[in-house]
Amino acid sequence: MSPFNITVRMSSKDAHYGGNLVSGARILELFGDAVTGLSAAADGDEGLLSSWSDIQFLKSVHPGDFIKIDAVVTKRTKLRRFVSVSALRIIRHLSSDNSIVEKLDDPECVARATGVIVIPFSVAHRKAENV
């Protein structure tokens, strides 16, 4: 199954903490959007994210950073899709005093997690009939 990805620029609205840090909840929201897109593309249904596990925040994220979210199915059963999601900084905003950015030749993994998507029985049944 093909991976699904989205790229988002973090805004000043995403910063909630001292040091102008982006909230980890914002990264989780993007993870949710990516797995919803993954499910929609693969199964024709948005599915339902039933759980996250092994969530790791590895590096701080700041407004102006461009973050690419990659989601991929690692295992599938009839009704469940086990997914791996990562957030990669691909462009770093260098200073809150100006608009200078740095494109990263080697993207930095800033967060990762695994999760489970459940698709409706009717969708799985419909797909089984079309095979």
Phi-psi region of 47 (alpha: psi -120 to 50; beta: other; left: phi over 0): left
Domain ranges of the chain: 4-129
Q: Which of 111, 100, 128, 102 is nearest to 32 (CA)?
A: 111
The phi and psi torsions of 13 (rounded to 5 degrees) equal: -65, -20
96-114: pLDDT as tens digits: 777 889 999 999 999 999 9
pLDDT at residue 69 tops 80: yes
CA distance 18 to 38: 34
pLDDT attached to residue 86: 98
For 4-129, CATH gives 3.10.129.10
Tens of pLDDT along 32-45? Answer: 999 999 999 988 88
